[in-house]
Amino acid sequence: MKKGLIILLIIVILLIMVIGWVVGKYNMMQKAQIDVQNQFAQVQAAYQRRADLIPNLVNTVKGAANFEKSTFVEVTEARAKMSGSLQLPKEAINDPQAFANLQASAEGMNSALSRLMVVVENYPQLKANQNFLSLQEQLEGTENRINQERRVYNDVAAKFNKILVIFPNNIFAGMFNLKAAELFKAAAGAEQAPTVNFE
């Protein structure tokens, strides 16, 4: 009887240790996923800051320059698309399509802003306008913040993805339905150096 009680006690202790180990693994993976979601929210906040600056920038340019409306329309449409992409749930970090849509709308916003800045080059009085210069400086700071937040997100997401693929975590990731986080990628053609022509 005493021997059977000792064996039962050992089995219970081993079972408690195994359950504790599994719970520890689960908690570690959940914490890592929350870190990724939090950093994704930081990227979204930086994108939102840029979207909030754009109407002021466009209005300042409109007031100082007379040129075709198509540039304003492109910037406004790109901003609207970008704002819609920012309303992603935290699960978007695991959704390749939602993540690709966010990246595509961000690249569209970059392209539209680049066209706006090219147009601005034709208006020296605008480049001397203090409101415009202040907005341009804020926009540049925001672009730097976006790049920084995306870099930090990719670091945190890569760390989370590594946790998921290491044995035995990969088994638990499947059991707990945890999926790898998507990463921000460079825009298409970014690997090509721009052509500089001094003619």
- What's the topology of domain 40-175? de novo design (two linked rop proteins) (1.20.1440)
Amino acid, res. 161 = N
**The pair of three-digit structure tokens given for residue 49, joined into one six-digit string:** 């800051």
Q: What confidence tier does 79 reach under pLDDT thresholds 50, 70, 90?
A: confident
Are 70 and 88 spatial neighbours (Cβ–Cβ below 8 Å)? no
In tens, the pLDDT along 105-123 reads 888 888 888 877 777 777 7
Checking if the pLDDT of 194 tops 70, the result is no
In tens, the pLDDT along 8-51 reads 999 999 999 999 998 999 999 999 999 999 999 899 889 888 88
Q: Please, what is the angle between helix 2-64 and helix 69-85, to 10°?
A: 170
**The pair of three-digit structure tokens given for residue 87, joined into one six-digit string:** 């309303």
So where are the chain's domains?
Answer: 40-175
Per-residue pLDDT, 188: 63
**The pair of three-digit structure tokens given for residue 51, joined into one six-digit string:** 């979207």
pTM value is 0.76
